[in-house]
Structure 1
């Protein structure tokens, strides 16, 4: 029988993770030019629609269906989700990766994992900001989710015996036994590697790096980062799939690492540039959230603190790699998500403690007497996901580029993607000043105020 408290927590966590995608849209949207902000928002928002339909049709089944061989992909037994109503996923058995003592409605788990599937490709959009066609992006979402995200989710998140008593899952979770509590490999390394590939496919923005557009709305960036931080509690603590001790551990570690990363990023900025920036604080928070994601259920608070500081400082330095190596990653998807995901995934090998999560399939890290076994597992998992995502994304990206085209015209890029792709703009600057500065509804009020002022003078 399902535990109502655990079910409520998982559904609430799913809603929190859903909020992360609009939060990401504002985080990215604030960093682009004012004439391409709507396009950036739409590249994120459309993922909510497209990935939801794919997930219902076949995505969940490919990711969590019974393995078809080698731990690489699930079958289509759950296609359409019609056989999931009233069914329970038991995670109180010896095979289970989570410590809950009761079952969970399958549809609650389906919705929770859907939100991961949505935000992962949305993250990629930041790497190609200011130059991507909307409908080409939609095609990319369909192809990339189908051949990259769904298989990788199966590798990392599909544990033996979870969806059914005899179900078999992915090779990273069950054979390699690498640890990834909430998506350092499946989400962040996956998206970061894909972002790097698409940056090569689409090429540099016109004038870059000689001309680097400034963020048009830094408050948007901070708002987006705050929404991401808020939603990330569902992302990480919700991955415990039970309202218990482990959720509290993940929640606490998420908070500590994120706070530490903000400090790490700002101190790095101070030393390198002489000033701490608002954009740096927002980016540091996201870097910390990324890095602690795979580790939040496997390390103690000291481990979370170190992971956060390292992620903040290293990611602050890593964002400049695009200038050194000449790839135009517009909004630092590589520097924050790929590098941050690698940091968090690899540092598990040093800081993991079985005592933190007794249901863990891994072992203690280097600093707790476990040797280099777990570190080796983490490195193999990170490398496999990075390579698979990068190569497949290159293929998908070039396929779109040489068929329907992926990049907007040079004229659209210069004059504004919002007008060219969506026939609208985010801001009506023409309404400010003479000729329509006041709406019709305000004109009588303004006139009365003028008459009153004249009478008072008289």
Structure 2
């Protein structure tokens, strides 16, 4: 496939870039519609329960429900905001600042009907699929500030960050803004989703500060089985996340899905090789982390490289992420709770570089825009990633300051010690014997039955 053919496929028929809505009477394709609809539903499972279980298992047991609640509430909020103004400001035309933000003509989906089309699929389906991208990106950040951020602050931060960061970034890259015309090789959101969220996670970790006891208390994942389950769902969902971006059930879409699968496989093997060499024991946690790092790295590359290159991209990226997680984080002492920056941010940057290298026709790739070589393509690639980093740094700091000014960012020491599950949500994730973990005991019944906890748990009756 030549670069021109691949580029046309990506720009006119592929997501996340908005397909041309001005084509004369595009005909609905039932196969494409079914394919994208299934991909949208699988990405929904990727978010919830996938991301939720993946993060919740890494939390301590006293905070497991707070992590799940933050992710669930964030997704619900973002879905509503996407319909209210997110889709319009990302993809509608008519804005005087069109290079930065979209128009208001489709607020609350005004003008969209059952007959509206984007390429060969209904616009309603395109709206839903793109909603999945918007809804999963901000919650990724929560892995960096888990176990210490107020629930109210989380919701305010999510709404503000979506508005001042994700929507402009998505418009500039996919909706016809200035980044759109630069010719960056980023097929499925390496910059807008992963580099953006990864850098934001680092800002959140630095602004909030470390958890109580960080560096002196054990903060290992409380349930690796839960994390494994969520990680496995993320891997499956990623195939739909990237593959659905073809907006078509064809060979190009299948190549993207295969590349995505192999990127995760290469990442798992790369992380395992490092751990086995240095620790003599490959861990399940390491394998999962490697899968995610490989998937992040292949996200910008999946539409431009060969399957063999996808394996190499994942395998090479994983050790870079290990270095940031094991060495850089310890060296600087920041508490990125679930290593969001060390995996999403670092792997996205590495993947962006490797995309240009392996897009070379001599390495099986689709090639570069007309008139560009590997070196001349690398310049805009790095500059746009630098812009994404700067945009994320500034907007994340502003969003945190707004949330902090309104409700405060961090729970108090007593709440953090008790755990956010009981203190903020009045419930606990597990049946516990000790009343101090489950909630406030309610007076026992006259029958002498064990008291019921405010969280719904039954306290152990004293003997």
TM-score by length of 1: 0.85
Residue 345, structure 1, aligned to residue 373, structure 2? no
Q: Residues 405, 55 of structure 1: CA spacing in aligned structure 2 closer, same or farther, 3 A cutoff?
A: same
Residue in structure 2 matching 1:239, options 238, 245, 254: 245
Partner of 2:203: 197
The answer as to whether partners of 1:258 and 1:285 remain within 8 angstroms in 2 is yes
Partner of 2:295: 289
CA–CA distance in 1 between the matches of 2:192 and 2:153? 24
Q: Any idea what SS the aligned residue of 2:61 has?
A: coil
Residue 21, structure 1, aligned to residue 47, structure 2? yes
1:361-380 paired onto structure 2 within 5 Å? 362=369, 370-380=373-383
Deviation larger for 282-291 or 28-37: 282-291
Shift of residue 88, structure 1, vs aligned partner? 3.7
Deviation larger for 44-53 or 29-38: 44-53
Residue in structure 2 matching 1:224, options 230, 234, 237: 230
Residue 76, structure 1, aligned to residue 104, structure 2? yes
CA–CA distance in 1 between the matches of 2:88 and 2:361? 31
TM-score by length of 2: 0.84
1:151-166 paired onto structure 2 within 5 Å? 151-158=168-175
CA–CA distance in 2 between the matches of 1:212 and 1:297? 42
Shift of residue 419, structure 1, vs aligned partner? 0.5
Residue 146, structure 1, aligned to residue 163, structure 2? yes
Shift of residue 431, structure 1, vs aligned partner? 8.6
Deviation larger for 205-214 or 120-129: 205-214
CA–CA distance in 2 between the matches of 1:409 and 1:364? 58
The answer as to whether partners of 2:294 and 2:347 remain within 8 angstroms in 1 is yes
1:410-421 paired onto structure 2 within 5 Å? 410-421=413-424
Q: Any idea what SS the aligned residue of 1:211 has?
A: coil
What per-residue deviation string (whole Å, max 9, x for no partner) do you get for residues 176-213 of structure 1? 11021111001000100111111111111112123240
CA–CA distance in 1 between the matches of 2:43 and 2:379? 30
Partner of 2:145: 128
Shift of residue 361, structure 1, vs aligned partner? 7.6
Partner of 1:40: 67
Residue 397, structure 1, aligned to residue 400, structure 2? yes
Q: Structure 1: where are the runs of 5+ without partners?
A: 92-102, 159-168, 437-458
Residue 266, structure 1, aligned to residue 292, structure 2? no
Q: Any idea what SS the aligned residue of 2:137 has?
A: helix
What per-residue deviation string (whole Å, max 9, x for no partner) do you get for residues 123-154 of structure 1? 00000011011111011111000110011111
CA–CA distance in 2 between the matches of 1:144 and 1:209? 30
Residue in structure 2 matching 1:210, options 212, 216, 225: 216
CA–CA distance in 2 between the matches of 1:259 and 1:328? 28
Q: Any idea what SS the aligned residue of 1:372 has?
A: helix
Shift of residue 396, structure 1, vs aligned partner? 1.4
Residue 117, structure 1, aligned to residue 144, structure 2? no
CA–CA distance in 2 between the matches of 1:413 and 1:284? 30
Partner of 1:183: 189
Q: Any idea what SS the aligned residue of 2:411 has?
A: coil
Q: Residues 431, 417 of structure 1: CA spacing in aligned structure 2 closer, same or farther, 3 A cutoff?
A: closer
The answer as to whether partners of 1:9 and 1:243 remain within 8 angstroms in 2 is yes
The answer as to whether partners of 1:351 and 1:364 remain within 8 angstroms in 2 is no
Residue 330, structure 1, aligned to residue 337, structure 2? yes
CA–CA distance in 2 between the matches of 1:227 and 1:364? 41
1:44-63 paired onto structure 2 within 5 Å? 44-63=71-90
Q: Residues 24, 362 of structure 1: CA spacing in aligned structure 2 closer, same or farther, 3 A cutoff?
A: farther
Aligned residues: 408
Q: Residues 409, 64 of structure 1: CA spacing in aligned structure 2 closer, same or farther, 3 A cutoff?
A: same
CA–CA distance in 1 between the matches of 2:368 and 2:150? 43
Partner of 1:164: none
Partner of 1:448: none
CA–CA distance in 2 between the matches of 1:114 and 1:150? 11
CA–CA distance in 2 between the matches of 1:110 and 1:390? 28
